Structure 1
């Protein structure tokens, strides 16, 4: 009897998590890990959440990573707040590259113009994190992010020929990097 009373008192003191900030691909919320267990700990109906999220993001291209804020109310209902995709997603799309540079200071994985930066900054300027910043400050942040992942920002437009030449050169660099990584992986396996 005393054990039940102690367990009940302890149960009252345990606070469940009521806020979650995560990145979920648009239209692809599933009960599978990592999202399902997180929602389960918050005592949210996972199937209802997935259905609601997928409906809210049905107008967005499937697979676009969306930062999402989930707030759980005491009655187990939830509120979903969708933010715009990460800046790096927009930069990679604008540059037309699949992955960033492995050595951002000395490698370039793509090129964008200041027009791209301006358009990305207009979209990101609506996020709560950027509301107190001017458009110029948001542009500088976008340029900083571009440099961090190895994307070169050009002041002028680039010709189609120059872009094609750059893409061919970049494809060769990526192929050489992948071969080097595969060789390192195989040599490590042989040592074991």
Structure 2
């Protein structure tokens, strides 16, 4: 009996040494890391000094346009220190910026919310290739991934783009977006009436 108790104690010591902390994966706006929710509680659960993390993140992203969403990976060490890896903004952010739209399409296959040229796609692929998960992938693969992302956002990829025609397209698109917003608001109000 005493041998089994000794084994259990030794196994418990081994189990205590195993680090079960997971990587923190989140998007944080550049230069806007704050101790409040949702970032503060996530860092607190992992025993990271919240004020030091926010200061470090904001210093490292000072040269990036404020408010740009940045995918961030944080690995916590056992001594409460951390390793911070900041990726390039998401592909959908770059695609929407290049197309000049603020929202993606509600029905991506049926409607087009914007257009970009192949040159835009190539430049975005070169930027995204700097991310750690994609740095060893060939540029062609990154371009194929971006084409799929553009399709899911409702962004059409064209060879050439006439600025006047595209300006007219965006004006028409604004009207469609306003109609969609009104429709969504009506649905929300109808749902609120049903639950009240």
What residue is the counterpart of 1:22 in the other structure? 26
Determine if contact 2:19/2:78 at 8 Å carries over to the other structure: no
Aligned to 1:55: 59
Is 1:183 the equivalent of 2:189?
A: no
Residue number among 118, 134, 146 corresponding to 1:130 in the alignment: 134
User: 3-state SS of the aligned residue for 1:104?
Assistant: coil
Q: Identify unmatched segments of 5+ residues in structure 2.
A: 1-8
The secondary structure found in structure 2 opposite 1:128 is coil
Q: In the alignment, what sits opposite 1:98? A: 102
1:16, distance to aligned residue in structure 2 (A): 5.1
What is aligned with 2:169?
A: 166
Distance 1:41 1:190, change over 3 A: closer
CA drift of 1:184 comes to: 2.3
> Of 83, 95, 119, which aligns to 1:115?
119
Q: Quote the RMSD (CA, aligned, Å).
A: 2.0
CA contact (8 A) 1:105 1:150 kept: yes
Normalising by structure 1, report the TM-score: 0.88
- Residues 128-147 of structure 1: CA distance to partner in whole angstroms, max 9, x if unpaired? 22233211111111111000
Whether the 8 Å CA contact 1:26–1:62 is kept in 2: the answer is: yes
CA distance in 1, matches of 2:108, 2:35: 36
Contact between 2:108 and 2:153, CA under 8 Å: does it hold in 1?
A: yes
* 1:15 shift after superposition: 4.8
Q: In 1, Cα distance between the equivalents of 2:17 and 2:77? A: 17
Deviation at 1:188, TM superposition (A): 3.0
Other-structure match for 2:4: none
Q: Measure, in 1, the Cα distance between the counterparts of 2:159 and 2:168.
A: 19
Give the match's secondary structure for 2:193: helix
The question of whether the paired residues in 1 share the 8 Å contact of 2:96 and 2:103 is answered with yes
CA distance in 2 between partners of 1:14 and 1:34 (Å): 28
